[in-house]
Amino acid sequence: MTVSDPVVEDVVTTISRSATEIRQGLIGRRGTVEGENPSGDTQAEADVWADELLGDRIAGIDGVGQYASEERADIVDCGDDPAASAAYAVAVDPLDGSSNLKSNNTMGTIFGVYDAALPARGDTLVAAGYVLYGPITTMVIATDDTVSEYELTGGERTIVERDVTLPAEPVVYGFGGRVPDWPADFREYAREIERELKLRYGGALIGDVNQVLTYGGTFGYPALESRPEGKLRLQFEGNPIGYVVEQAGGRSSNGTQSLLTVDPDELHDRTPLHVGNDDLIDRLESTVA
């Protein structure tokens, strides 16, 4: 699949061609750096390096007006007027699951292309997706038309599946956060789900969501007693992942509404995140409302 908009295609191609380099560049960058990212999380050396690599390349694309990253406090003005109709904003989580570097487990890169200045609602996305650094490097791309999965080799995309949709019969679930920190209503929902589905949880949003996209089911990182606003970032994780799952025929929710309809206040806003098959998200909202 070639994305119809040439600017969006340039963004997707830049990320896909950078993926092999990012994966190889993880070697020797498993340590942490001093300080934290704007969300207060410890940064790995690889977080900073991947952000600089992607930021430089995406900011150089004609038609991209803004670049923003989970690893940077501020939006980068790329030169085009971000309010102009031809200028897109790109938000990236350069290395999702970087805490898995220590144990050498799954990680990924998440991106969203917004037809609006950041921070923006998810329903202004024109494309979103992720790269999964698993045993095979794969890329999922969602547009308003379809969701497709590719294998990446040497920066080139090879189609694996077109028109990806969530299987109708859910199989897997994964929930983040410490169980004692879950609100009582979410614990009630989780107890029901764990009697019906198989647990799959790897500590990286990308890997867990990809399990849901492959087998059907639900992933959630709920509001916590200690963090009612949630843990994941709306612009960099919630909106792009919500867009992918909704375009694949599923639903997203912050517990009360689609992630794509949430009005952001700040670039680094956090959100509870739930995605999966319609019925499972309907049940979630009925339980925690």
Judged against a pLDDT cut of 60, whether residue 133 lies above it is answered with: yes
Q: What's the CA gap between 96 and 79, in Å, rounded?
A: 27
Binding-site entries for substrate: 96-99, 201, 231
Based on the fold, state whether residues 239 and 184 are members of the same structural domain. Answer: yes
Residues 56 and 151 in one domain: yes
Q: Is the pLDDT of residue 253 over 60?
A: yes
- The pTM of the full predicted model, rounded to 2 decimals, is 0.94
* pLDDT-based confidence at residue 46 (cuts at 50, 70, 90): confident
CA separation for the pair 222, 231 (Å, rounded): 8
For range 222-228, the mean pLDDT = 96
Rounded average pLDDT over 170-193: 97
Q: Which domain holds residue 110?
A: 6-161
- Give the residue ranges of the annotated binding site for Mg(2+): 70, 93, 95-96, 237
Domain boundary among 92, 127, 161: 161
Q: Is the pLDDT of residue 212 over 70?
A: yes
- State whether 282 and 230 are in the same domain: yes
Position 28 confidence tier, pLDDT thresholds 50, 70, 90:
confident
Per-residue pLDDT, averaged over 19-30, amounts to 86
Q: How confident is the model at residue 40 (pLDDT cuts 50, 70, 90)?
A: low
Name the pLDDT band for 29 (thresholds 50, 70, 90). Answer: confident
Distance in angstroms (rounded) separating the CA atoms of residues 16 and 13 = 5
Please indicate, yes or no, whether residues 111 and 210 belong to a single structural domain of this protein.
no
Asked if residue 193 and residue 119 are part of one domain, the reply reads no
C-alpha torsion angle, residues 40, 129, 44, 70 (rounded to 10): -30
Q: Which residues pair with 137 in a beta bridge?
A: 133
The answer to whether residue 167 sits within a structural domain is no
Instruction: Tell which of 161, 180, 201 closes a domain.
Output: 161
CA distance 177 to 240: 21
Residues 193 and 283 in one domain: yes
CATH of the domain at 157: 3.30.540.10
CB 252 within 8 A of CB 108: no
CA distance 17 to 280: 36
Q: Tell me, what amino acid is at 274?
A: H
Count of domains observed in the chain = 2
Residues making up the annotated binding site are 70, 93, 95-99, 201, 231, 237
The mean pLDDT value of the chain amounts to 93
